[in-house]
Amino acid sequence: MHLNSFLEYLSLEKKYSTHTCLAYSKDIESFSQYYSNHNDGCDFDIADYSHIRRWIVFLSDSDLSNRTINRKVSSLKSYYSFLCKINILDISPLISHKSLKVGKKVIIPFTVEEIFKATDDIGESDFVELRDKCIFEMLYATGMRRSELINIKLSDLNNLSVKVLGKGNKERVIPLLEDFVKLLDKYIVSRADFVGNKSLEVQWLFLTNKANKTYSIFVYRIINSYLGRVSTKLKKSPHMLRHSFATHLLERGADLNSIKELLGHSSLASTQVYTHSRLDKLKQVYNQSHPRGRKKTKL
């Protein structure tokens, strides 16, 4: 098995994050365990498509969604492509595989009113309130990912912009709104008082209540808490602020290419998902605006 070499390839050459490499590893090990159990402990490098197909049926019988199964198979397909790349295999057993059909996933964004209500409810009286408000506003004002926010350093701020490190270790600079910069300046002053004489040692922009670097579930709890006060929507995560950011820009006339650059997407196809949730509104505008769609008025 050449799994370790594959993971090194993903990390060093493809520049994938530790989290992404771990996800690939788990998916591939899932098949490795299944194959070993059904083939007397043989190395799954020599598996053929019939073995993989039986694994897919097993996953389906385990009530996994088609989307999850496709992700696992995609990880395995990347592994076999790597084995072909380093001349371990002549051809991948998944070369002709077709993904299982999945329904379109419609994500309902938060309304502008819900976003504004949530931020209005966050005070500015102390470090914790200012931090929470800035985290919320930073995610919505920029559309950045949670992981990008967590890794922002003070040195990444530059007047009316912030530099973030996105997927594949790609840097991008995102503009900041003037009103948000005023709030951020107020937080930075409060942050300096909170950190005290350790200010030179602590470079992360956003800190926990113990002056440590924030982490994924910490940011999630903040966003979930404030959105929970203004909305009954089931999903109240930082990603929903990213989704709302893109949707609201699109509704107000921003072009997809600009949104793509702001979000840090590598292809326009990733950005186009945000157009689906607004289809009903577009239909309504279309029917009201198109001459054929207007109701005839009686004279």
Q: Hey, which residues are catalytic here?
A: 145, 167, 239, 242, 265, 274
Residue in 90, 93, 86 with CA at minimum distance from that of residue 44:
93
- Cβ-in-10-Å burial (0-12, 13-18, 19+) of 221 comes to exposed
Query: Which of 97, 3, 90 has the alpha carbon at shortest distance from 44?
Result: 3
Q: In this structure, what token pair is assigned to residue 130?
A: 């200012």
As a whole number of angstroms, the distance between CA 41 and CA 281 comes to 55
Amino acid at 47: A
